[in-house]
Amino acid sequence: MKRIFLAAAMSLLGSAAFAQDPALGVWQTEVDDGSFALVQMSSCGSDICGTITRTFKADGTEYDSPNKGLQIVRGMTPTGGGNYEGEVLRPSNNKIYIGKMQISGTQLSLKGCVAGGLICANQNWKKLQ
């Protein structure tokens, strides 16, 4: 009985700690290829994943993009100090890149890299919720 209670308590504590992850929430991307998006970052197992929920033209006009519902941040594993590693999908070319993410307050720096991380493109996102 004590083991069951201890296991349940540890599970709740682990869930509460994970719920505090600064990556969770809604983030606004930079303008890329003439548009930007809102990305919902959620837990996917012990990692973080991000799905496009709304899309906008560069002028701020919302539109119905075929990218809505697309998971673009995949399996980002926390590595400490606000850093994460996983994969990033770029919708414009449908390619998956080595992903690196760093969070500082309400700012998120997202990198998609090739060549083992030697060549990277970077975007800075801001947290809305």
User: How is the chain split into domains, by residue range?
Assistant: 23-127
23-127 has which fold?
Lipocalin (2.40.128)
Q: Out of 5-19, 26-40, 105-119, give the one with best mean pLDDT.
A: 26-40
pLDDT value of residue 116: 78
Q: What is the mean pLDDT of residues 78-89?
A: 96
Give the model confidence (pLDDT) of 47-57 as tens digits. 999 999 999 99
Residue 20: predicted pLDDT: 78
DSSP string spanning the chain?
Answer: -HHHHHHHHHHHHHHHHHHT-TT-EEEEPPPBTTEEEEEEEEEETTEEEEEEEEEEETTS-EE--TTTT-EEEEEEEEEETTEEEEEEEETTTTEEEEEEEEEETTEEEEEEEEGGGTEEEEEEEEE--
With cut-offs at 50, 70 and 90, classify the pLDDT of residue 43: very high
